[in-house]
Amino acid sequence: MRRNTRDRLTADAALLLAAAAFALPLLWLLLASVNAEADLRVRAPSSFTAENFDAVLTDEITFTPMLNSLLLCGGATLLTVVCAALAAYPLSRHPSRFNRPYLLTILFTTCLPITAVMVPVYGLFVQVNLIDTMYGTGLFLATSQLPFSIWLMKNFMDGVPVVLEEAARTDGASNLQTLTRVVLPLMGPGLTVVTIYTFIQLWGNFFVPFMLILSPEQMPASVSIFTFFGNYGSVIYGQLAAFSILYSAPVLVLYVLIARRLGGGFALGGAVKG
Amino acid sequence: MSSRSKGLWRWVPIAPATVLLLLFLAGPIGYCVWIAFTDTRLTGASGSDFVGLDNFRRAFADDDFRNAVWLTLVFTVVSAVLGQNTLGLALAGLMRAASRPVRTITGTLVITAWVLPEIVAAFLLYTFFRREGTLNALLDWLHLPSQNWLFTLPILAVSFANVWRGTAFSMLIYSAALAEIPRDITEAAEVDGASGPSRVWHITLPMIRRSIGTNLMLNTLSTLSVFGLIWAMTRGGPGNRSQTLPVFMYDQAFLKSLIGYGTAVALLLLLVGSLFSIVYLRLMKVEV
């Protein structure tokens, strides 16, 4: 018993050390955002201030980029989820020779380094005049997230019993009706997870809008954050921290909402990192 | 309606997703294969001529390219294989022995670092590693020598940044894997007198080897495509001392306007990624 206690204390100490290392950069973010004279190191502010937040809460700095992010990622998420739900339905319900290769291709695609595709995507977008358009960028963002969403959606759909669908079908429901009225409501939590997860991934995506969107008034927050460096002369770290918090808040909140359902086994569905 | 056409109708829902994937993913990849064999440039003449393997020959003879390959290797081994993987496993293991509040605190912090948008993580680590930053303040306080990390050891700084950002994923995978090991097996070994380290080596590690394989593969793949983190922290510099392949690709294609050459590099990156993906699929013996 005593050895167990000693083991626990050792583990606690080691974890707290690791926790401190992970906490330091986050601590800087919190402290700098309320410090009028924030610099680069973690420091308690001499007096707390809301100045930094006040300064960045303007149309130009915060509201327009955040709205752009919302339109871009919201639209792309909607498209991804609708397409993924439609695609997952036959894959989950109709056994066929075609399923396995399709799903393997999908899983293979989730693993590809999407970064590598950005140069040819830029070239294609210039040629077909999709460059610097929100909908073009949204279409690509949706596609980049689609393979994983299909995979996840199919796994959730497999968990819905088929019996209820058969009942609906006997009553004369079409495929689409069965999907929207029976299957999707039954997999509500799964659908929520796919939606929120897709949105989180897209919200944080930097490289895609960085490449495909050129005009400043269309920049989402992930790219506009760059203007803190350069455009306004010397960097005002307190404002940068305040803006970072505002920009990160939505995904942190959404993650908390789905964290329990994601768990660890979730990861086995394929590549999950952004 | 004949049963055959009814069978076909069933597959209509799959069409929108497939069209998107073909247009925006398979399309660019195919285009990538073509452009990589041309001398397309951003500026000047619109024409692009087929130049065969020139771009690839040029790449392998290019010191900057070889530098990028080497740095990508260092970045991947240090941050994904050694860093994220080992630290993730250690954290997951320690959490099983730790008390509940400590477990919750550590887990929350590690996962927060993971959920933060890439560019925010990059700025946080940038301030951390800067000469006037927190790391040096800490070293001064401990009376240890400080230095300008982003200048002296840029590739290590971005590697540590990637560990900070990505370890949560490994931690989650290993927590799930460790939770599945039946308790009586480790208890039996303990009764037989196996020491802590030998229990880990002979029992725990072999039992989670599939998770280790999966995790290493996914870590490697996601690390291969890291761009924003490095770009925001160092722009690949100073000079080219933290220029991994994605940053090199961007630099050649857009800053130097050599689209053909940049695409050839992208194609090589895709090939390496595909190779890893195939190994991963085989390793997992995916059941679909």
Beta-carbon separation of B40 and A123 below 8 A: yes
Q: Quote the CA–CA distance of A153 and B242 in Å, as a whole number.
A: 38
| Closest Cβ opposite residue B109 in set A26, A116, A223 | A26
The whole-number average pLDDT for the span A171-198 is: 87
**For residue A84, what pLDDT band results from cuts at 50, 70 and 90?**
very high
Residue B190, pLDDT above cutoff 80: no
Answer whether B10 sits within 8 Å of A109, measured CB to CB.
Answer: no
Query: Which of A126-140, A172-186, B148-162, B240-254 is predicted least confidently?
Result: A172-186
- Nearest CA to A89 out of A197, A189, A174 is that of A174
pLDDT digits (tens, 9 = 90+) for A209-250: 999 999 988 999 999 888 776 555 567 888 889 999 999 999
CA nearest to B120, candidates A7, A32, A156: A32
Residue B118 has pLDDT above 90, yes or no: yes
At B54-109, the pLDDT tens digits run 888 888 888 899 999 999 999 999 999 999 999 999 999 999 889 999 999 999 99
Q: How confident is the model at residue A267 (pLDDT cuts 50, 70, 90)?
A: very low
Nearest CA in chain A to B108: A19
Q: Pick from A27, A233, A223, A49: which is nearest to B133 by CA?
A: A27
- Residues on chain B touching A263 (C-beta within 8 angstroms): 172, 176
Quote the DSSP letter at residue B12: G
- According to the model, what pLDDT value does residue A200 have? 93
> How many beta-carbon contacts under 8 Å exist across A and B?
287
- Mean pLDDT value across residues A41-65: 85
Examine the pLDDT at B52 and tell me if it is beyond 70: yes
What is the band of B286 on the pLDDT scale with cuts at 50, 70, 90?
Answer: low
What pLDDT was estimated at residue A230? Answer: 55
Inter-chain residue contact B120 with A175, CB threshold 8 Å? no
Residue A230 pairs in a beta bridge with: A233
Rounded distance between C-alpha atoms, residue A189 and residue A262, angstroms: 11
Cβ atoms of B91 and B106 within 8 Å: the answer is yes
Q: CB–CB of B224 and A113 under 8 A?
A: yes
Better-predicted residue by pLDDT, A99 or B88? B88
Q: Which residues of A touch B278 (CB under 8 A)?
A: 108
**pLDDT at site B108:** 93
Angstrom distance (rounded) from CA B206 to CA B177: 11
pLDDT per residue as tens digits for the range A189-218: 889 999 999 999 999 999 999 999 999 889
What whole-number percentage of chain A has pLDDT above 70?
92
Segment B194-200 mean pLDDT: 78
Q: Which residue has the higher pLDDT, B242 or A272?
A: B242
Contact residues, B window 124-153, toward A, CB-based 8 Å cutoff? 124-125, 127-128, 130, 132-134, 136-138
- Indicate if ipTM > 0.85: yes
Closest chain B residue to the Cα of A124, Cα to Cα: B28
Q: Which residues pair with A48 in a beta bridge?
A: A35
State residue A274's pLDDT score.
Answer: 34
Query: What pLDDT, on a 0 to 100 scale, did the predictor assign at position A268?
Result: 43
Cβ–Cβ below 8 Å for A12 and B99: yes
Count the residues in chain B.
288
More confident of the two residues A256 and A1: A256
* Chain-chain contact of A207 with B218 (C-beta, under 8 angstroms): no
Rounded Cα–Cα distance for residues B85 and B220 (Å): 10
Give the pLDDT confidence score for residue A180 in this predicted structure.
87
